[in-house]
C-alpha cells in the first residue's frame, strides 16, 4: 500500500520566508513618496538595525517605542507592521507573523507585486503553522492575484490533503498532472504518490489503480508494479486462465522474487505447452541466484523441474512441424496460435508470428480476447513494440485480458529496464 505525501519541512519554509522578508527592508528604504515623523522614524531605524543583527527582542522593543508615539498615520502603521512581521518570523512566531502579514494585505499600502509576494509568504507561513484551511485560502488568493510560482501553487493539494479534503486534492493533483504531461514533462514521483494516497483515503480503488498506472509508467519500480499487478488480479471476474500471463508480466517487470515464484511460472508454462518459455524463466531464476541456492531438497526439486523442461523441449521441437501441420487442418485457430507462440518462445518469431496471424484470422477461438493478448505478447517479446501496442489496444475482454493488455502496453512504452526493488 502506498501512503506517501509531498511535504515541505518547517526549515525550508522558514528559509524561504526569511529570504522574502529581506526584500521588505529594501522596499521600505526605497519608498520616498511617504515619510514617517522623526519621533517614529528614530525607533524604527533602531528596529531595523536590531533586526539585521538578528536581535529580535530588541527590535520588538523598538517597534513598541514607535507605537507609543501615538496618533500614527496609516503609513507609519504600515511600516511598523511590516517590520513586526519580519521580527515575528525571526523569532519563530509564525502565528504572529501571519497576523501581521494579513494586516499588511488589508492596509491599502501594498502594490500589486507586493500583494503577490505577501500572499506567497502567507501561504508558506500558514502551511508551517499547519493551518491548512487558511493555507488553501491563501493559495487561492495568491493565484487570483497573479501568482505563478509552481512551488507555491503546489502547496494547494498538499494543504487540501493534510486538511482532509481528499477529493479536492485528488482533483487538483489530477489537473496538475494533466498540465505537466501536456507540456511534455513527467509528473514527479511525489506528486503521483500523493494522488495515490488521496484515492486510498477515499477508498477509491479505481482512482488508486489509475495512480499506480501512472507511477509504473514514469517510475517503474517493482514495488509499484507488484501492487498494481496484485490489484489487477484481484478484480472481480479476473480469469484463472490468465495466471501464466500474470507471471509473464511479473517477469517483464522484475517482480518475480522468490524461488516459488519462478517455479510456479515455469510449471504453468510447461502445462500450457511452452517448455521453451519455461526454460527462459528458470534460467533467469538461476542467473539472479534465486534458484540453485538454499535447502538441498529445494535445489533438488528445481533440478528435477529443469530436467523435465529440457526433455520437454527436445520432444516439443521434434514434433513442432507436425503440430503445425495438424493445427492448420483444425476448424478453429487456437492450434495455430499456440504453435506460433511456441515458435516465438524458441526465438523463431519470423515463423511464429505469421502462424498466430493465421490463427486469429481463422477464428472460432476459445477466447478471442485472450488470443489477441497472446499475440500482442508474442510481438512484444519479438521486439515489435509498435505492433504490440496496436494489438493491445484492440483487446477488450472483461475477464482481465483488457487490464493485462493495458499493463503490457505500459512495459512496451517504457524504455527503462526494470529497476531494483525500492529500499
Q: Which sequence spans correspond to the domains of the chain?
A: 10-146, 172-219, 232-413
On average, the pLDDT of the chain sits at 89
What's the pLDDT tens digit per position in 283-308? 999 999 999 999 999 999 999 999 99
The overall longest dimension of the chain from CA atoms, in Å, is 107
* Residue 363: how many other CB atoms lie within 10 Å: 11
As a whole number, mean pLDDT of residues 60-84 equals: 88
Helix 10-30 and helix 38-52, axial crossing angle in degrees, nearest 10: 140
**Residue 68 parent element (H or E):** helix 56-68
What's the pLDDT tens digit per position in 379-415? 999 999 999 999 999 999 999 999 999 999 999 998 4
- Rg of the Cα atoms in the chain: 33
Whether residue 153 contacts residue 139, with contact meaning beta carbons closer than 8 Å, is answered with: yes
As a whole number, mean pLDDT of residues 326-338 equals: 96
pLDDT for 143 equals 94
- What cell was used for 278? 519455461
pLDDT for 70 equals 86
Euclidean distance between CA atoms 247 and 254, whole angstroms: 10
The pLDDT confidence band at residue 30, using thresholds 50, 70 and 90, is: very low
Euclidean distance between CA atoms 228 and 393, whole angstroms: 19
As a whole number, mean pLDDT of residues 342-352 equals: 96
Per-residue burial over 236-246, b if 16 or more Cβ lie within 10 Å, else e, is eebbeebbbbb
Q: Note the pTM of the prediction, 2 decimals.
A: 0.81
pLDDT for 188 equals 94
Nearest to 291 by CA among 260, 253, 313: 260
pLDDT for 251 equals 96
Point out the least confidently predicted range of 7-16, 73-82, 143-152, 263-272. Answer: 7-16
pLDDT for 94 equals 87
What architecture does CATH give domain 10-146?
A: Alpha Horseshoe (1.25)
What's the pLDDT tens digit per position in 154-199? 999 999 999 999 999 999 999 999 999 999 999 999 999 999 999 9
Euclidean distance between CA atoms 7 and 16, whole angstroms: 15
Euclidean distance between CA atoms 382 and 68, whole angstroms: 84
Amino acid at each position: 500500500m502506498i501512503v506517501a505525501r509531498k511535504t515541505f519541512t518547517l526549515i525550508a519554509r522558514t528559509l524561504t520566508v526569511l529570504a522574502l522578508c529581506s526584500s521588505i527592508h529594501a522596499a521600505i528604504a526605497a519608498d520616498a513618496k511617504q515619510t514617517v515623523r522623526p519621533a517614529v522614524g528614530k525607533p524604527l531605524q533602531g528596529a531595523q538595525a536590531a533586526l539585521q543583527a538578528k536581535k529580535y527582542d530588541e527590535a520588538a522593543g523598538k517597534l513598541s517605542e514607535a507605537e507609543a508615539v501615538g496618533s500614527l498615520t496609516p503609513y507609519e502603521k504600515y511600516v511598523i507592521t511590516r517590520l513586526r512581521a519580519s521580527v515575528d518570523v525571526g523569532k519563530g512566531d509564525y502565528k504572529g507573523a501571519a497576523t501581521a502579514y494579513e494586516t499588511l494585505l488589508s492596509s491599502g499600502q501594498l502594490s500589486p507585486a507586493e500583494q503577490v509576494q505577501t500572499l506567497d509568504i502567507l501561504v508558506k507561513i500558514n502551511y508551517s503553522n499547519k493551518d491548512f484551511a487558511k493555507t488553501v485560502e491563501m493559495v487561492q488568493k495568491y493565484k487570483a492575484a497573479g501568482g505563478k510560482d509552481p512551488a507555491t501553487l503546489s502547496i494547494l493539494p498538499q494543504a487540501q490533503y493534510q486538511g482532509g479534503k481528499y477529493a479536492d486534492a485528488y482533483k487538483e493533483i489530477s489537473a496538475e498532472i494533466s498540465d505537466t504531461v501536456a507540456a511534455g514533462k513527467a509528473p514527479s514521483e511525489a506528486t503521483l504518490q500523493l494522488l495515490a494516497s488521496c484515492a486510498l483515503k477515499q477508498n477509491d480503488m479505481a482512482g488508486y489503480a489509475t495512480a499506480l498506472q501512472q507511477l509504473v509508467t514514469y517510475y517503474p519500480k517493482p514495488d509499484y508494479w507488484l501492487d498494481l499487478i496484485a490489484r489487477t488480479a484481484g478484480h472481480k471476474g479476473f480469469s484463472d486462465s490468465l495466471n501464466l500471463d500474470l507471471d509473464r508480466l511479473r517477469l517483464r517487470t522484475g517482480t518475480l522474487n522468490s524461488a516459488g515464484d519462478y517455479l510456479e511460472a515455469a510449471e504453468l508454462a510447461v502445462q500450457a505447452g511452452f517448455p521453451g518459455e519455461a526454460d527462459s524463466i528458470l534460467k533467469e531464476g538461476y542467473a539472479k541466484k534465486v534458484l540453485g541456492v538454499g535447502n538441498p531438497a529445494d535445489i533438488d526439486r528445481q533440478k528435477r523441474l529443469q530436467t523435465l523442461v529440457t526433455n520437454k523441449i527436445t520432444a516439443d521441437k521434434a514434433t513442432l512441424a507436425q503440430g503445425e501441420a495438424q493445427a492448420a487442418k483444425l476448424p478453429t485457430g487456437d492450434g495455430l496460435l499456440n504453435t506460433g507462440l511456441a515458435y516465438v518462445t524458441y526465438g523463431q518469431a519470423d515463423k511464429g508470428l505469421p502462424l498466430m496471424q493465421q490463427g486469429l484470422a481463422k477464428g472460432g477461438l476459445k477466447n478471442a480476447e485472450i488470443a489477441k493478448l497472446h499475440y500482442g505478447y508474442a510481438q512484444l517479446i519479438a521486439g515489435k513494440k509498435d505492433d504490440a501496442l496496436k494489438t493491445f489496444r484492440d483487446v477488450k475482454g472483461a475477464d482481465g485480458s483488457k487490464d493485462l493488455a493495458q499493463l503490457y502496453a505500459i512495459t512496451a512504452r517504457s524504455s527503462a529496464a526494470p529497476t531494483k526493488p525500492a529500499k
